[in-house]
Every structure is written in C-alpha cells, then in structure tokens.
C-alpha cells in the first residue's frame, strides 16, 4: 500500500483514470490537515466505468464461482496484511478512533471470507415436470451501481462488493467524498487481483457522480447506504429505469433495559457503546434507551458517570474512547439538535457542549450527551448522528413497546434482561430488522442486516443477500415435443 499517494483518481478498467480537472481537498477530520486530493468525478467518468464493467461482465459472469471465491480470499488476505495502515488512514479520514477502526477491518475481512465461502454453496433449485425437469437458475444482474456513505467506509464497501462479486456481477462504486481514502486503497489492491473492469470506483459528490450513476441506463441493479431522502432519490431513479435497489437507510433504534438485569455495570457499558460507536454516527446506534422505573435512578447515575469518564481526544491515541465528528458541518448539525432538545423541554443530564481538545483546535469534538426525553420530541424521533443519547423511563410493558415502535424507522433494536420470556416476547413485538438481546451490535457473518419501515429495503450480510444480487431464470426441459 502506498500511502504517500496524494491524488486519488477513479479506477476504471483496472487503471487510474488520470484526465481529472476538478479535485476535492481531503482533510484529516480531527486536525483539518490536508491528507490528499480526491477526484471530483462526474458523468464522463461514471459512463466510462459503467462501460468497462459491462464489458468485464461478459467474462466475469461466466467465470466459475470457485475462481471468483479464490480471488476474494486473496483480497481478504491482502486487506488483512495491510489492516494496520488502512486503519490509520481511515481513522485520519473519518476522525474515528484507532481501536474501533482496527475492529472494523477485522470485520470487513471476515465478511469477504463469509461471502467467498457461502457463494460456493449457493444453489439453484430444481423439480420434476411431467416428462422432464424444471430449474430455477440464479443469474447475476450485470453492472451494479453501489453508493456508500462516509461513516463506516471500508466496511460499507465490503458489504456491497463481496456478495455482488461472488454472484458474478461487476461493480461501479461511488464512495462518499467526505471520507473514502481507505476505500480507494482497497479498490486499488483489488485491481491487482481481479480482472480489469470487474471493480471500478468513481469518487465524487452525490449530486454529480452519484446521480450520474443512478441514472445510467446500463446499470441493472442499485445498492445504496445513506440517508432516507437520498435513498428515495436512488430508489426512484432506479424505478424510472425498471431497476431494483437495495436501500440501507437511517435508524432511531430503541434499546430496552428490564428491571431484572443481573449486572448493571455491564449493561451500562454496553448501552454506552451502543450509542457511541462511530462517535454516534451510526445508523444502527441504540439512541433511545428505555430504562425501567424500578432501576431508573441507579442506572442513570452509573450512565452519567460512564459518559463523563470517557476519554475524548486524538483518534490515533490508543487510549481514546470517543473522538470527533466527521466535519464541522456535521458537528453544527448535532449542536443544532442539542439546542432543539433544550428548546423542546428535554432535560439535559450531561454533556451538551463542544469539547476542546488540546492540539486539535480545528477538530469537531462534542461531549457525550444524555437527554431525558418524551418519545414524541424531535430529538427522540429524528436521527442526530452524533454522541447524543435519549433516555426514557418505562413501567408499563405495552406502553413501552408502543413507544419503542413509534418511529418512522425500524433498523435495529436491543434489550437487556435475564428473563427468557421477556426476551422472546419483546423480540417478537419490536418492529425492527434486527434485535440484539443482551449485547448490542452483535453482528457476525450471516446475520440478516437491513431495515423495516423507512430504514430500507433488502438485507445485507446474510445468505439472502445472494438472492438480492441475482435474478431467477426459470428453465424447463421435456424429452420431446408433442
Ligand atoms: P447521504 O445520503 O447524504 O450520502 C450517502 C451517499 O449518497 C454518499 O456517497 C453521497 O455522495 C451519495 N449521494 C448524495 N446525494 C446523492 C444523489 N442525489 N444521488 C446519488 N447519490 C447521492 O448520507 P450521509 O449523510 O452521508 O450518511 C449518513 C446517513 O446514512 C445517515 O442517515 C445514516 O443513518 C445512513 N447510514 C445507513 C446505514 C445502513 O446500513 N442502514 C449505514 C450507514 C449510514
């Protein structure tokens, strides 16, 4: 991996496309220092990348799944070998702290190996006909356009490309211009392994490069992770070309604490990381914590102590437990939501200010913040995408379930209980794509990941994802024409 590279070009047909006129400054999120220049690509580059992917599809779709799997394992090994450098680059780019970034790359590598493995066992189906047979044959779509966000760039890249590639599709990726340098490095590595044109990447803004990708008529499937408004644009752009989309959108996930928990300190710890992972900039974050009234006061006291003891600071410091927002714009948005919370009458229990970190005067750090809220308040309903937790006291089970489900989102949910009956009942009652019992963010390969309601369409990370990236062709055969 060559980290001294200062210019990141689109990678089209296996090579850097160098005819770029416009550039975007890529800055370290925490210090504001210039990291690199990123191509500000548009329709010309997108169209070339789609053409290259379309050409590569002819061969790639006929390449055996064993060979596709072999190349994916090679990519996993290469990322693993370079994981430390990639973690540092992504920590600088996103402002997320280094220990969390290292875990991201372990997870990303696991996901490639998961899809490289299960793809081998992904079978078509067959049945008998009168005098013959029929089969449901799964075939790849063709060129998939994939758009990813800035909060978790490399993991998002792998979520997208691993299932698409093992099933025989070729890809054009549009990463987010706020943070994507490790993604650009991974795609460079991938192009030393995969045939040219199979994995193309065209960086740039959503307005220019993103919309050029979604409107390109040669795209046969779209996959998007990001906000609900842009998700609707992507879905509609696809439908106007009769192309389906996988949409992974936002969340305002409930996390419920029952009074029967056995180890309150461990639950406080887990509920804290549930909301503060990615510095709070995670679609999955457990942002609404419902605490039973019998343990409320004691739990809140411990939670405030935990929040106030966290070490906020330099993303590259090994001791850091919370770092800053991706940009000043995002930090302002979070501070606006904090101000709105106060105006709405939410009770501020801790935090609520920007944090000043020595040596990082250009950083965008915010104190971890807790508000006691009513579920109807805007800060309890809208995604804040920052280190802000809303807590609610509950006593009546049915009312708690009704409040937990009373949101337009339905991505994730969690709960803590030592009572199996509570756990099974609440898991059924929650309207969310995933339910974590006694450990939030407990994801592993094969776990269905995706949202109910406005949180999205489709499932990533699991066996069903292979179906998302293939379409069924029915073929029947009889012995002779009669
Ligand atoms: P965003 O929707 O603004 O941007 C996401 C991506 O879409 C970026 O690559 C951006 O360049 C692109 N884009 C923007 N406008 C576009 C357009 N008109 N056409 C095509 N592409 C366009 O989201 P964001 O603010 O960068 O990311 C945060 C959001 O993403 C949050 O709402 C969060 O919940 C969501 N998110 C969801 C998941 C998930 O898996 N469900 C994961 C991470 C983030």
**Domain layout of the chain by residue ranges:** 7-249+456-474, 254-444
Ligand 1, atom 22: nearest CA belongs to which residue? 206
What contacts 420, CB < 8 A, 6 or more positions away? Answer: none
Taking the CA of residue 385 as reference, the ligand 1 atom at the shortest distance is: 31
Fold of the domain built from segment(s) 254-444:
Aldehyde Dehydrogenase; Chain A, domain 2 (3.40.309)
What contacts 35, CB < 8 A, 6 or more positions away? Answer: 26, 27, 28, 92, 93, 181
Query: What pLDDT, on the 0 to 100 scale, is given for residue 482?
Result: 79
Taking the CA of residue 205 as reference, the ligand 1 atom at the shortest distance is: 11
Distance 158 CA to ligand 1 centre (A): 16
Q: Whose CA is closest to 203, among 20, 41, 403?
A: 41
Sign of torsion over alpha carbons 206, 207, 211, 212:
negative
Distance 127 CA to ligand 1 centre (A): 42
Question: What is the best residue among 146, 173, 222, 226 to mutate for testing ligand 1's pocket, by most ligand atoms within 8 Å of CB?
Answer: 226
Distance 417 CA to ligand 1 centre (A): 34
Question: What is the best residue among 152, 204, 206 to mutate for testing ligand 1's pocket, by most ligand atoms within 8 Å of CB?
Answer: 206
Distance 230 CA to ligand 1 centre (A): 6
Distance 68 CA to ligand 1 centre (A): 29
Query: What pLDDT, on the 0 to 100 scale, is given for residue 2?
Result: 54
Query: What pLDDT, on the 0 to 100 scale, is given for residue 61?
Result: 98
Distance CA 23, CA 39 (A): 5
Ligand 1, atom 9: nearest CA belongs to which residue? 176
Question: What is the best residue among 39, 107, 149 to mutate for testing ligand 1's pocket, by most ligand atoms within 8 Å of CB?
Answer: 149
Look up the pTM and report it.
0.96
Ligand 1, atom 4: nearest CA belongs to which residue? 226
3-state secondary structure at position 437: strand
Distance CA 382, CA 401 (A): 18
Distance 59 CA to ligand 1 centre (A): 32
Distance 331 CA to ligand 1 centre (A): 17
Ligand 1, atom 12: nearest CA belongs to which residue? 206
Distance CA 401, CA 75 (A): 44
User: From the candidates 28, 45, 90, 248, which is the catalytic residue?
Assistant: 248
H or E element in which residue 296 lies = helix 296-309
Q: Quick one: CA torsion of 297, 302, 308, 314, rounded to 10 degrees? A: -140
> Is 390 annotated as catalytic?
no
Question: What is the best residue among 159, 219, 227 to mutate for testing ligand 1's pocket, by most ligand atoms within 8 Å of CB?
Answer: 227
DSSP 249: -
Distance 175 CA to ligand 1 centre (A): 10
- Print burial letters for 73-112: b (CB count within 10 Å at least 16), e (below 16): ebbbebbbebbeebbbbbbbbbbbbbebbbebbebbbbbb
Distance CA 370, CA 201 (A): 39
In 105-244, beta strands by DSSP E:
125-129, 132-140, 143-147, 170-174, 199-201, 221-225
**What residues flank ligand 1, with Cβ below 6 Å?**
147-152, 174, 176, 205-207, 210-211, 214, 225-227, 230, 233-234, 248-251, 283, 383, 385, 411, 456
Ligand 1, atom 32: nearest CA belongs to which residue? 227
* Contact predicate 255/269, CB 8 Å: no
Considering the domain delimited by 7-249+456-474, tell me its CATH architecture.
Answer: 3-Layer(aba) Sandwich (3.40)
Taking the CA of residue 250 as reference, the ligand 1 atom at the shortest distance is: 34
Ligand 1, atom 30: nearest CA belongs to which residue? 226
How crowded is residue 441: how many other Cβ atoms within 10 Å of its Cβ? 16
> Is 283 annotated as catalytic?
yes
Q: Do domains 7-249+456-474 and 254-444 have the same CATH topology?
A: no
Q: What are phi and psi of 282, to 5 degrees?
A: -125, 135
Q: Whose CA is closest to 154, among 209, 112, 208, 194?
A: 112
Radius of gyration of the chain (CA): 23
User: From the candidates 283, 390, 434, 462, which is the catalytic residue?
Assistant: 283
DSSP 195: P
Distance CA 50, CA 10 (A): 12
Taking the CA of residue 178 as reference, the ligand 1 atom at the shortest distance is: 26
Distance CA 100, CA 95 (A): 11
Distance 407 CA to ligand 1 centre (A): 20
Distance CA 472, CA 456 (A): 22
Query: What pLDDT, on the 0 to 100 scale, is given for residue 4?
Result: 52
Distance CA 475, CA 137 (A): 7
Q: Quick one: CA torsion of 310, 311, 312, 314, rounded to 10 degrees? A: -150
Ligand 1, atom 10: nearest CA belongs to which residue? 206
Distance CA 87, CA 96 (A): 10
Q: Whose CA is closest to 89, among 41, 14, 38, 40?
A: 38
At which residue do the structure tokens 């099974």 appear? 424
Residue by residue, pLDDT tens for the chain (482 residues) are: 555 559 999 999 999 999 999 999 999 999 999 999 999 999 999 999 999 999 999 999 999 999 999 999 999 999 999 999 999 999 999 999 999 999 999 999 999 999 999 999 998 889 999 999 999 999 999 999 999 999 999 999 999 999 999 999 999 999 999 999 999 999 999 999 999 999 999 999 999 999 999 999 999 999 999 999 999 999 999 999 999 999 999 999 999 999 999 999 999 999 999 999 999 999 999 999 999 999 999 999 999 999 999 999 999 999 999 999 999 999 999 999 999 999 999 999 999 999 999 999 989 999 999 999 999 999 999 999 999 999 999 999 999 999 999 999 999 999 999 999 999 999 999 999 999 999 999 998 899 999 999 999 999 999 999 999 999 999 999 998 97
Q: What are phi and psi of 253, to 5 degrees?
A: -80, 135
How crowded is residue 443: how many other Cβ atoms within 10 Å of its Cβ? 18
């Amino acid at each position: 991996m060559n980290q001294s590279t200062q210019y990141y070009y689109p990678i089209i047909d296996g090579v850097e496309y160098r005819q770029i006129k416009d550039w975007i400054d890529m800055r370290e999120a925490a210090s504001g220092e210039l990291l690199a220049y990123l191509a500000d690509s548009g329709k010309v580059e997108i169209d070339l990348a789609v053409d290259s992917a379309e050409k590569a599809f002819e061969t790639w779709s006929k390449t055996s799944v064993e060979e596709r799997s072999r190349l994916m394992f090679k990519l996993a090994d290469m990322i693993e070998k370079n994981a430390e450098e990639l973690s540092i680059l992504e920590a600088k780019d996103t402002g997320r702290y280094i220990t969390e970034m290292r875990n991201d790359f372990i997870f990303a590598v696991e996901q490639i190996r998961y899809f490289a493995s299960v793809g081998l066992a992904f079978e078509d189906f067959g049945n008998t006909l009168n005098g013959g047979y029929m089969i449901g044959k799964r075939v790849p779509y063709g060129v998939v356009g994939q758009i990813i966000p800035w909060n978790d760039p490399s993991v998002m890249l792998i979520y997208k490309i691993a299932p698409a590639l093992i099933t025989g599709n070729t890809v054009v990726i549009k990463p987010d211009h706020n943070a994507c340098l490790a993604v650009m490095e991974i795609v460079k590595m991938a192009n030393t392994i995969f045939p040219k044109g199979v994995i193309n990447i065209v960086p740039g803004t959503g307005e220019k490069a993103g919309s050029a990708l979604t409107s390109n008529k040669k795209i046969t499937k779209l996959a998007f992770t990001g906000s609900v408004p842009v998700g609707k644009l992507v879905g509609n752009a696809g439908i106007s070309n009769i192309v389906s989309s996988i949409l992974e959108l936002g969340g305002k996930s409930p996390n419920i604490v029952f009074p029967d928990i056995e180890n309150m300190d461990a639950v406080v710890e887990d509920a804290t990381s549930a909301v503060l992972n990615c510095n709070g900039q995670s679609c999955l974050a457990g942002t609404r914590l419902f605490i039973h009234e019998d343990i409320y006061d004691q739990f809140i006291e411990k939670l405030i102590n935990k929040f106030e003891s966290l070490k906020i600071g330099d993303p590259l410091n090994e001791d850091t437990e919370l770092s800053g927002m991706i940009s000043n714009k995002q930090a302002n948005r979070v501070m606006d939501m904090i101000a709105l919370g106060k105006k709405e009458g939410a009770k501020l229990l801790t935090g609520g200010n920007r944090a000043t970190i020595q040596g990082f005067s250009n950083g965008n750090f915010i104190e971890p913040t807790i508000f006691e809220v009513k579920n109807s308040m805007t800060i309890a309903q809208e995604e804040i995408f920052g280190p802000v937790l809303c807590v609610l006291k509950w006593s009546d089970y049915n009312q708690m379930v009704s409040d937990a489900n009373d949101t337009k989102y339905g991505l994730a949910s969690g709960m803590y209980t030592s009572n199996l009956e509570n756990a099974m009942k609440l898991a059924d009652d929650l309207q969310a794509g995933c339910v974590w019992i006694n450990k939030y963010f407990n994801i592993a390969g094969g776990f269905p990941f995706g949202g109910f309601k406005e949180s999205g369409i489709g499932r990533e990370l699991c066996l069903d994802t292979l179906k998302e990236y293939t379409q069924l062709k029915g073929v029947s055969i009889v012995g002779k024409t009669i």
